[in-house]
Amino acid sequence: MNNSMSFYVSINDIKIKVPSNITILQACEYINVYIPRFCYHEKLSIAGNCRMCLVEIENSPKPVVSCSFPIINNMKIYTNTPLVKKARENILEFLLLNHPLDCPICDQGGECDLQDQTVLYGNDNSRFYEYKKSVEDKNCGPVIKTIMTRCIHCTRCVRFVQEFTNLKNLGTINRGFNTEISTYINSLIDSEISGNLVDICPVGALTSKFYTFKARNWELNSINAVDFIDGVGSNINVQLKGNKILRILPINNKNINENWISDKTRFFFDGLNYQRLVTPLFFNKKEDKHTKISWITSFNFLKTVFIKKKSIGIILGEFIDLETELLVKKKKYRYYFRGIY
């Protein structure tokens, strides 16, 4: 199909002109008609397995999956008919069939897609009273906490790992009632961008170990910033509680980092709180070891050194800005680079 072609479609009796190579869900976004979804993500391949995005098409005997159904010229689409509303209620009822009722202790509470869409599109009762299925938690590495009983099998994490990290060790195993997301050979997700799995998971199955039981999203203050760790200049959102950073999230920027950030960017703030040098250390060359000294002693020592020495050496790290380096150069100090110190 020629990408330059355009089609006319009618969405809720509103006629619009859209490109011919898009899906129904993408066409609805042209007029800001929101279609609920779980498995669809704009940066991942289309799976079409959650069925939450069902819409009705004129002369179609049943609802269609809007995230994978291509548009047709003069197609008439309806997103709020009784058939669509009932289909969404039924889909959510099935998704909640085995989902645990642990929203009060879930770190995703307050920003959970399943929670929000159940309030908007779900029913207030269920016809299922069987025991809920439990799934063993997986070890996905040092940064990702897993509670796989909450998983709704949207496969976003599987597609992200396979398409962005080039790893093949995460997928779906078993069939039917016993289906679950797992690593095939009990291996870790060894990737520098694995923390993005926390962002794309629509429920609380994959959360951050560093954010566990720390705060709710409405308790945090947010500051938009630019990351200086990896040199890419990723757009980030720093979230604080009081004066303490609790997490760092990406900001969507199509020209730089899109929806992603590296694990180094996401979790480097942990070094601001733990394993920091809070006491000055003096290196004894004779004993070849560091000994703790007081701040007063250290400042007096530095004062003595600066008075006696005619030339002062300055150590510049990797994160020093160019303006500071230029000023040091103009003062003709002896300086050299040491990396991260």
* 0.85 surpassed by pTM: no
**Other CB atoms within 10 A of residue 246 CB:** 19
Confidence of residue 202 (pLDDT cuts 50, 70, 90): very high
Residue-by-residue DSSP string for 230-246? SSS--EEEEEEETTEEE
Average pLDDT, the chain: 86
For 29, the 3-state DSSP assignment is helix
Res. 252: pLDDT tops 70: yes
Tokens of 206: 């994959």
Q: How many C-beta neighbours within 10 Å does residue 31 have?
A: 11
Q: Beta-carbon neighbour count of residue 121 at 10 Å?
A: 16
338 pLDDT exceeds 60?
no
Mean pLDDT, residues 150-176:
89
Assigned token pair, 225: 């910033």
pLDDT confidence band for 312 (50 / 70 / 90): low
Torsion of CA 103, 104, 109, 114, to 10 degrees: 20
What pLDDT, on the 0 to 100 scale, is given for residue 91? 93
Q: Counting beta carbons within 10 angstroms of the beta carbon of residue 30, is it exposed (0 to 12), middle (13 to 18) or buried (19 or more)?
A: middle
Q: Which residue has the tokens 């990351």?
A: 227
Q: Which domains does the chain have, with CATH numbers?
A: 6-38+49-82 (3.10.20.740), 96-213 (3.30.70.20), 214-276 (2.20.25), 311-341 (no CATH)
Give CA–CA dist 111/197, Å, rounded. 15
Return the pLDDT at 3. Answer: 52
Q: Which of 63, 57, 107, 105 is nearest to 77 (CA)?
A: 57
What local confidence, expressed as pLDDT, does residue 303 receive?
77
Strand spans (E) along the chain? 6-11, 14-19, 54-57, 64-65, 76-78, 144-146, 170-173, 180-183, 206-208, 221-226, 235-241, 244-250, 281-284, 289-292, 313-316, 334-337
Residue pLDDT, tens place only, 1-60: 445 688 899 999 999 999 988 999 999 999 999 999 999 999 999 998 899 999 999 988
Q: Helices 82-95 and 113-121, interaxial angle, to 10°?
A: 140
> What's residue 124's pLDDT?
84
The closest of 244, 270, 190, 245 to 236, measured between CA atoms, is: 245
Cβ atoms 26, 35 nearer than 8 A: no
Calculate the CA 323 to chain-centre distance.
Answer: 34
Q: Is 339 left (phi over 0), alpha (psi -120 to 50) or beta?
A: left
Of the chain, the percentage scoring pLDDT greater than 70 comes to: 94
Count of Cβ atoms closer than 10 Å to residue 138 Cβ:
21
Distance of CA 70 to the CA centre of its chain: 28
Percent of the chain at pLDDT > 90 equals 47
Check residue 337 and give its pLDDT. 45
Q: How far apart are CA 146 and CA 137, in angstroms?
A: 6
pLDDT band at 277; cut points 50, 70, 90: confident
The confidence band for 128, taking pLDDT boundaries of 50, 70 and 90, is: confident
The predicted structure's pLDDT at residue 339: 42
Mean pLDDT of the 112-134 span: 89
Task: Inform me whether the pLDDT recorded for 116 exceeds 50.
Answer: yes
Rounded mean pLDDT, 55-75 = 92
In this predicted structure, what is the pLDDT of residue 341?
Answer: 33
Q: Residue 28: is it exposed, middle or buried by C-beta count within 10 angstroms (0-12/13-18/19+)?
A: buried
Q: Is the confidence at residue 143, as pLDDT, over 80? A: yes
